[in-house]
Amino acid sequence: MWTSLHLRLPTVPTVLYALHSRPTTLPTLGSLFLPRPTLPALPLGLSHQTRHGSNLSPRRTKHRKAHKGSIPVRTGGSTKGTTVVFGEYGLRITDGARLSAVQLTAAHTTIKRKIKTVKGSKLWMRVFPDIPVSSKGSEVRMGKGKGAFEYWACRVPINRIVFEVGGLRKEIAKEALRLGGHKLPVKTEFVEKGTPPVVGAGYVREQVGDARKVEGARMVDAVIKEGGGVAAPEGLLANRT
């Protein structure tokens, strides 16, 4: 009694896989009839396309989610992070903001692309996104817990140095930091090493000046009432109302 012999004919992908697996030798007859092995799949949760793709993320955190918080405002006279320390030129923001990892990555890539042609140039990033930001979908009712993780961000106070560069001419550094500043959602300024630090807000000079004028005028009025002969400084009482 004859038995039928069924042969599995090789398909085109099988032939291509056999050729790719042995680039130096020709595929054997047995390798063509063997089933094609499956490629390892990606781990669960990983994909080739992400909405907020960035390589900037902390290695580990104590909590998976965090409160929204607010931008810190230094009122105690601290000047930390307002001067150039590592490089020769820096990019300083003129307003507090929450910068995401995608924005920092875009600015870092832009600056690096501009200065990579200069031999010996260096780039430093003075901030790092370590705060998890979560969000909910639109038209979702209140409750049901906190939203899902969305991206990493960092809270940067006003007048903080974000990027520093060194080992290149001032013209190239200024242009590179200008291009990198366009990737950030806040206004920036170019500073050099040796620029004096900024205390607190530092840019509300007109309001501070007016307050000093008013306070000085009150002091002069108090002295005049007491009978003292004090001459007011020039321009101090010019804007009195």
Domains of the chain as residue ranges with CATH: 8-34 (no CATH), 57-137+144-200 (3.90.1170.10), 204-241 (no CATH)
pLDDT at 74 over 90: no
At 213 the pLDDT is: 55
CB-CB contact of 184 with 103 (8 Å): yes
- Tokens 């205390």 map to which residue? 199
Residue 169 pLDDT: 95
Cβ atoms 177, 135 nearer than 8 A = no
Q: How confident is the model at residue 236 (pLDDT cuts 50, 70, 90)?
A: very low
- Does residue 233 surpass a pLDDT of 80? no
Q: Is pLDDT above 70 for 194?
A: yes
pLDDT at 207 over 50: no
What pLDDT is attached to residue 149? Answer: 93
Q: Inform me whether the pLDDT recorded for 214 exceeds 70.
A: no
Question: Which whole number is the average pLDDT over 81-93?
Answer: 95
Task: Return d(Cα 178, Cα 176) in angstroms, integer.
Answer: 5
| CA proximity to 112, closest of 55, 150, 46, 155 | 55
- The confidence score (pLDDT) of residue 199 equals 84
Residue 59, token pair as written in the block? 């290695």
